[in-house]
Amino acid sequence: MARPEKRTAGKQKVLVGSLPFTKINYQILGAGILCLILGYFALAQDPWDGTLPLVVAPILLVLGYCIVIPIGILYRTRTKMENVRPGVESQEKTH
């Protein structure tokens, strides 16, 4: 049986099946958690039938759970090698 290959991009060693979180990923996740905290804080305000608990809190919670946190998990920066198409670099050098 053949062993699964581990792919490497340049100097980065990426394990198959791992999520390479960087500093920007943690910052986006922190913004998502802050959005959730603000949403729950707005939800707990009196009066219960006011604008803050009924309008602002659900918007902040949906924004945090459905948009910001998934972006923080899935965001990946592009490296220079991913942006270069094969053949384009060789044509530019010949001219």
Residue 80 Cα to chain centre, angstroms: 19
- Looking at the domain assignment, is residue 36 inside a domain? yes
41 within domain boundaries: yes
Range of the domain at 45: 20-76
Structural domain contains residue 5: no
Asked, for residue 51, whether it belongs to a domain, the answer is: yes
pLDDT tens digits, one per residue of 18-42: 668 999 999 999 999 999 999 999 9
CA 62 vs CA 46, 65, 81: distances in Å: 21, 5, 36
54 occurs within a structural domain: yes
Residue 84 confidence class, pLDDT cut points 50, 70, 90? low
Asked if the structure places residue 2 within a domain, the reply is: no
Residue 92 lies in a domain: no
Domain count, the chain: 1
Is 68 contained in some domain?
yes
| 41 vs 25: CA distance, rounded Å | 24
What pTM did the predictor assign? 0.64
Nearest to 20 by CA among 67, 63, 79, 64: 79
